[in-house]
Amino acid sequence: MASLNRRKLIAAGTIGAGAYGFAYVTGFFGTNASANPEAGKQFKVTYSPKIWKNRLGSARYRILRQAGTEPAHSSPLNKEKRKGIFACAGCNQPLYSSATKYDSGTGWPSFWAPIKGRVGTSTDYKIGIARTEVHCSRCGGHLGHIFNDGPKPTGKRHCLNGLALKFIPA
């Protein structure tokens, strides 16, 4: 009987830890350390949280200001093939050219390079391992992450949230 109760306790703890981990990774709890990519840095475009929420709406606010992640395959920008510029949805700064966009098969818009000087990076430990977070250099908005499995010439994959971007056709 004692082992049955111990099994239930272990199972409940495992399920609870998994649910907490999922909620944390998806940004359910709101602000986390990576939402402020460069603590103390003053960005050119800044607003109070209330103004950001009003400007962005709840979904974009969760991505850009709280470092959330949208579900894979949910963004229409993932399939955008036209020539143009992908700008920050927070401050409209041009970030990526369509010439560097490619289909990574991940379900998120992916690029092999940004427009020079338009993005910044920081280290994100949100899921327990170090990742390179990418953010807008003008407003600090969270865009996504950079991985080392992209195509030539950079070998980088800037895996971005479509909600963090606005497409401006050429």
Active site residues: 159
> Distance between terminal CA atoms of the chain?
70
Judge whether 141 and 86 are in contact, CB under 8 Å: no
**Beta carbons within 10 angstroms of residue 26's beta carbon:** 13
DSSP code at position 76? G
**How many residues in total does the chain contain?**
170
Distances (CA, A) of 121 to 35, 79, 111, 137, 167: 12, 25, 15, 9, 22
Instruction: Give the integer Cα–Cα distance in Å for 84 and 168.
Output: 6
